[in-house]
Amino acid sequence: AQKVTQAQTEISVVEKEDVTLDCVYETRDTTYYLFWYKQPPSGELVFLIRRNSFDEQNEISGRYSWNFQKSTSSFNFTITASQVVDSAVYFCALSAYIVGTGNQFYFGTGTSLTVIP
Least distance from C-beta 33 to another protein, angstroms? 4
Eight-class DSSP state of 86: G
**Where does this chain bind another protein (CB under 8 A)?**
32-33, 35, 37, 42-47, 50, 91, 95-98, 101-110
The residue among 85 and 99 lying less far from another protein, judged by its C-beta, is 99
* Nearest-angstrom CA–CA distance, 48 and 52: 14
The residue among 82 and 96 lying less far from another protein, judged by its C-beta, is 96
Eight-class DSSP state of 15: T
How many residues belong to the chain?
117
- The set of residues, in sequence order, having a beta carbon less than 8 Å from that of 65 and lying 6+ positions away, is 58, 59, 77, 78, 80
Least distance from C-beta 108 to another protein, angstroms? 8
The residue among 82 and 111 lying less far from another protein, judged by its C-beta, is 111
